[in-house]
Chains A and B, each alone.
Chain A
Amino acid sequence: MADEQTVPAQSPAPTTAAPAAQTPIVADPTQVRQVKEFKHNRPLFASRIDPSGRFVCTGAQDKLVARWDVDGDKKLEFAGHESWVRGMAFQPGGELLLTGDYTGKLSAWRYAADPAQPPVYTIEAHKGWVRAVAFSPDGATVATCGNDKLVRLWSAADGKLVRELGGHESHVYNVAFHPTGGHLASCDLKGVVKHWDLATGMAVRQLDASVLWKYDPTFKADIGGARGMAFSPDGAWLATSGITEVSNAFAGIGFAVIALFDWASGERKQVLRPKENFQGVAWAVAFHPAGFVMAVGGGGGGGALWFFKPDQPNPFFEFKLSNNARDLALHPDGLRLAIAHFDNTLRLYDMSPKPAA
């Protein structure tokens, strides 16, 4: 499975070319360091890297999607959305980037074009926010979810509605395709995870991520949802991330947490937390092909990047980030991470072993 670097929301794709003679570099999270900064002018919200590893795209607290050269200085902006973009996904084996905004619109972009082109299509995907966008492993179908409590499946080619999956009783926060295709997981505000069989469109079971949800009786409001969601490349694990043990929803007093499920049994096997409780939200989670879990968070004390083994509740490595982190994308080289920060900055981090002195 070395060729398939199936990080969620990115598709299996050919690895970046490497001369056969070189041994592949193994990522060492304990040596992670920042190697580059990309400056935007509004707080960043989302980051994704395209399957070729050439571009990283971001959403921010504005109406733009920005495309940055990972290894260069170019920045392009895709305009057309009418509100913030948090949900975005690159098409595996294709040329499209799908982005969803907080007015409920979903747009498809030929992201490699330069100069930037208007979207190939834009559809009204949901009433209210599009919270997440995911691509099927074969690149043919796009899943979206939103505040209308619906999950919808669209044909990537033309944006036609393929199927609507109803049943959630609160806002649907996140959605992810199982790497083998044919199955979808979605998670709502109250931590209800539904497993959909796409052949029938039926929810075949529910997983319990309610550790991510709290009704705060003082403020009379619900806080929850899977802010990040990812399957492991082999499909054995599902990770959902967010906030838990909330004592004050309106001040965000609670702890960053990742709930890890064994997909086969549907049982929650592990609750991953930073060793010393991190006050804030685990905003994004991803699996590394080498088998460890990566997550980023932000809260009162700034930002952090954590690395977990799935069988250990606490991280084997924690890296303090200079600023609140909202999203995480793994480069297909398996070494670099693009993290979207609150301080208008996208930062690139490198986990390759540092050159010997």
Chain B
Amino acid sequence: MTDCNYACRSPEHGISRRSLLAGLIGGSVGAGLVDSGLGHIAGLSHLIRPAVAGELAAQQKRVLVFFMAGGLSQLESWDPKPGTDTGGPFRAIPTSVPGVQISELLPYTAQQMHRLSLVRSVNTKEDDHGKGATFIETGRRDMPGQRFPTLGSAVSRLLAPAGAALPGYVHIQPGGAGVNKADAAFLGPKFASISIDNGKPPADLLRPDGLSLASDLARNDLRRKANQRFTSRRRTAETEAYAYSYDQALQLMERADVFDVTKEPAADQERYGSHDFGRHCLLARRLLEQGMTCVKVSHSNYDTHFENFDFHIEQLGEFDRPFATLIDDLAQRGMLDTTLVLVISEFGRTPNINPGLGRDHWGSAWSVAMAGCGIQKGAVIGKTNENGTAVADREVDGRHLFHTYLAALGLDPKGNYPNLNRPIPIGDPAGELIKELLV
């Protein structure tokens, strides 16, 4: 499978790093990690220059997850029931797909409907935030003593190129910082998401004051020399991984502004808007274009137990236009066919309207939206009954959705994670594909 010349024990050995590098740079790498500082960095940094990035990006599969934190109301978004006792005051509007209507709160998204698909028959039976999030993101019910990777971590593990400078999985959220180890579960922190806020790179990415570029390059040269000597008779996949991780970090430091959305064209910054979510969408576009494998954008908050209608006006008012803009941009740039887009939440909201004009947690009949890689365009799967109080047709839950996400990316949800020290299936063994959702 590889041409490792050492005893391979680590999960990394699945991809030959050397052959990846050699292929990209189009020249001999050889011992290649021991060039003089600047030349070496220049040699590798075109890995993330736009042109090559574009090529890489075009072949590579990506995932973009919109997490509507708190529980997005399906009745105020994807599955409106205007005029019913549960439907609330909003109307339904036509979309770019004949016969399909969504809530009037999503007028721009309605124009992108021909690129999206809806599943309206989700019954996860979970109305707890944590358990609901676990089920929809990991494809398995939350059970004590067990923890499975989220989609982003799974995909980061299964699809992210081993030599990539960018981290495989980033979570964009206001005030975000740090590594979310729980995401990756048994896959290990390497595949966890790194939380970032708009414009702020991960902690410690920037070279500190007091450390000059020359000094940094010089000391890394010394480090490489030391490693060369040490591993001349003691090389393992792990020593390679560790040594190389410093070079990856140096590359990323060179282009720390990949996390800075203000470097995008001013016209784009205007189109997306200056509010947090708008900037986050633009940042997501930027990162995906640069070849990041998985980007998760959280939008807060939808947990509207009180004044559900007012707050959904406010929140979806923030969401609608940048989301639609991003879908359109991805399509225009030829990236949508290789990017799986999900709009998910912990659960939906109750058809019943409470005395505070709110809706409560509801896992019995709600919706998710998807687009992109491997997904049908303009399809609506499943139905709820007339006033949304139950699924009427094609009931699915987190297991089926997870299987479908993976299959859409060309992965086998019934297979086991490769190179793990125990057999663990990627999808829940009791899950099945939603075949009609897949291309």
On whether A and B touch (CB less than 8 Å), the answer reads yes
Chain A residues proximal to chain B, CB less than 8 Å: 42-43, 61-63, 82-84, 101-103, 128-129, 147, 171, 218-223, 249-252, 280-281, 298-299, 323-324, 342
CA–CA, A330 and B276, complex, Å: 45
| In the complex with contacts A147-B313, A219-B70, A250-B70, A82-B91 CB distance below 8 A | yes
- Asked if B89 and A221 make an inter-chain contact with CB atoms under 8 angstroms apart, the answer reads no
- Asked if B355 and A298 make an inter-chain contact with CB atoms under 8 angstroms apart, the answer reads yes
With a CB–CB cut-off of 8 A, which chain A residues contact B89? 61, 83-84, 101-103, 129
The main secondary structure of chain A at its interface with chain B is loop
| In the complex with contacts A102-B90, A252-B305, A252-B358, A222-B353 CB distance below 8 A | no
With a CB–CB cut-off of 8 A, which chain A residues contact B304? 250
CA–CA, A299 and B307, complex, Å: 12
CA–CA, A323 and B303, complex, Å: 24
| In the complex with contacts A221-B311, A250-B70, A83-B91 CB distance below 8 A | yes
| In the complex with contacts A147-B313, A250-B301, A299-B356, A223-B91 CB distance below 8 A | no
Interface string of B320-360 (1 = CB under 8 A from A): 00000000000000000000000000000000010110100
- Asked if B306 and A222 make an inter-chain contact with CB atoms under 8 angstroms apart, the answer reads no
Shortest beta-carbon distance from B223 to chain A in Å: 44
Shortest beta-carbon distance from A103 to chain B in Å: 6
Return the contact of A220 from the options B88, B174, B355 (Cβ within 8 A).
B174
Closest 8 CB pairs of A and B: A252-B306, A102-B89, A219-B301, A324-B355, A84-B89, A342-B355, A83-B89, A252-B356
Interface string of B244-277 (1 = CB under 8 A from A): 0000000000000000000000000000000010
Shortest beta-carbon distance from B274 to chain A in Å: 15
With a CB–CB cut-off of 8 A, which chain A residues contact B82? 83
Interface string of B61-103 (1 = CB under 8 A from A): 0000000001000000000001101001111000000000000
- Asked if A250 and B353 make an inter-chain contact with CB atoms under 8 angstroms apart, the answer reads no
With a CB–CB cut-off of 8 A, which chain B residues contact A218? 301
- Asked if B306 and A250 make an inter-chain contact with CB atoms under 8 angstroms apart, the answer reads yes
- Asked if A221 and B303 make an inter-chain contact with CB atoms under 8 angstroms apart, the answer reads no
Which residues of B118-175 are within 8 A (CB) of A?
A: 174
Chain B residues proximal to chain A, CB less than 8 Å: 70, 82-83, 85, 88-91, 174, 276, 300-301, 303-307, 310-311, 313-315, 353, 355-356, 358
CA–CA, A84 and B310, complex, Å: 13
With a CB–CB cut-off of 8 A, which chain A residues contact B70? 219, 250
CA–CA, A62 and B356, complex, Å: 16
CA–CA, A338 and B221, complex, Å: 84
CA–CA, A147 and B306, complex, Å: 18
9 contacts between A and B (CB under 8 A): A61-B85, A83-B90, A102-B89, A128-B313, A218-B301, A250-B304, A251-B305, A252-B305, A281-B356
A61-B89, A61-B353, A103-B91 given; name 9 further pairs at CB < 8 Å: A102-B89, A219-B70, A220-B174, A220-B301, A221-B301, A222-B314, A223-B306, A250-B305, A251-B306
- Asked if B300 and A220 make an inter-chain contact with CB atoms under 8 angstroms apart, the answer reads yes
| In the complex with contacts A63-B83, A83-B90, A249-B306, A221-B356 CB distance below 8 A | no
With a CB–CB cut-off of 8 A, which chain A residues contact B303? 219, 250
Which one of B300, B356, B358 has the highest number of Cβ atoms from chain A below 10 Å of its Cβ? B356
Shortest beta-carbon distance from B88 to chain A in Å: 8
- Asked if A42 and B85 make an inter-chain contact with CB atoms under 8 angstroms apart, the answer reads yes
CA–CA, A324 and B356, complex, Å: 9
CA–CA, A84 and B86, complex, Å: 12
- Asked if A219 and B300 make an inter-chain contact with CB atoms under 8 angstroms apart, the answer reads yes
CA–CA, A171 and B310, complex, Å: 10
Shortest beta-carbon distance from A241 to chain B in Å: 15
What residue in chain B is nearest A280 (Cβ atoms)? B356
With a CB–CB cut-off of 8 A, which chain A residues contact B315? 220-221
CA–CA, A323 and B356, complex, Å: 12
CA–CA, A247 and B49, complex, Å: 48
What residue in chain B is nearest A300 (Cβ atoms)? B356
With a CB–CB cut-off of 8 A, which chain B residues contact A128? 313
With a CB–CB cut-off of 8 A, which chain B residues contact A82? 91
Which one of B85, B310, B353 has the highest number of Cβ atoms from chain A below 10 Å of its Cβ? B310
- Asked if B307 and A223 make an inter-chain contact with CB atoms under 8 angstroms apart, the answer reads yes
What residue in chain A is nearest B276 (Cβ atoms)? A220
CA–CA, A78 and B314, complex, Å: 31
With a CB–CB cut-off of 8 A, which chain B residues contact A61? 85, 88-89, 353
Return the contact of B353 from the options A43, A101, A251, A323 (Cβ within 8 A).
A43
CA–CA, A101 and B311, complex, Å: 18
Which one of A42, A43, A102, A219 has the highest number of Cβ atoms from chain B below 10 Å of its Cβ? A219
CA–CA, A61 and B309, complex, Å: 12
